[in-house]
Structure 1
Amino acid sequence: MLLEIVSPEAKLFSGEVTSVSLPGVNGSFQMLNFHAPIVSTLKQGAVKIAASSFKFDKDVEDKFTKINDQNYSLDINSGTIEMKDNKVIVLVD
């Protein structure tokens, strides 16, 4: 699935991923390929991304924490998420 993470300052990430875990206001949840459409708000926590490979822009790479070669996390204060047509868009603060 395609994941895009956007902040008010810049597009932080755009790429194919195998899963994404998010800190929802009603608890954390995970989305996999072809997840049902969803719109949700996010609270402070970590967005965890799993993919076979990652490519970050140099100016935003320092915002992500490497867990291992196939997993990264991004700490957020809040945000919203929309999953539709196997594309996840995450707007973060």
Structure 2
Amino acid sequence: MILEIVSPEAKLFSAEVTSVTLPGVDGSFQILNNHAPIVSILEKGDVKITASNFAFAKEVASKFTKVNDQNYTLSINSGTIEMKNNKIIVLVD
């Protein structure tokens, strides 16, 4: 599935991922391939991304924290997420 993370300043991430864990207002939740369509509000916390390889633009790489070769996190203050047709769009602040 494709994950896009966009902030008001720039597109932070766009790539094929295995899973994404997000900080929802009712607790964190994970999205996997072929997840049902969903729209949700996000609260302050970490977006956890799992993928086979990562490539970040130089100007945004410092926003991500490496956990290991297949996992990175991104701290956010708030946001929204839409998942449809194996494409996740996360708008973050």
TM-score range, shorter chain: over 0.9
Match of residue 10 from structure 1: 10
Match of residue 21 from structure 1: 21
Unaligned 5+ segments in structure 1 are none
Q: CA RMSD in A?
A: 0.2
Q: Take 1:35 and 1:67, find their aligned partners in 2: how far apart are those partners? A: 24
Q: Take 2:34 and 2:2, find their aligned partners in 1: how far apart are those partners? A: 10
After the TM superposition, which parts of structure 1 deviate over 4 Å for at least 4 consecutive aligned residues?
Answer: none
Unaligned 5+ segments in structure 2 are none
TM-score (normalised: structure 1): 1.00
Task: Say whether 1:53 aligns with 2:53.
Answer: yes
Tell me the SS of whatever aligns to 1:55: coil
How far the C-alpha of 1:91 sits from its partner, in A, is: 0.1
TM-score (normalised: structure 2): 1.00
> Would you say how many aligned residue pairs link Structure 1 and Structure 2?
93
Match of residue 83 from structure 1: 83
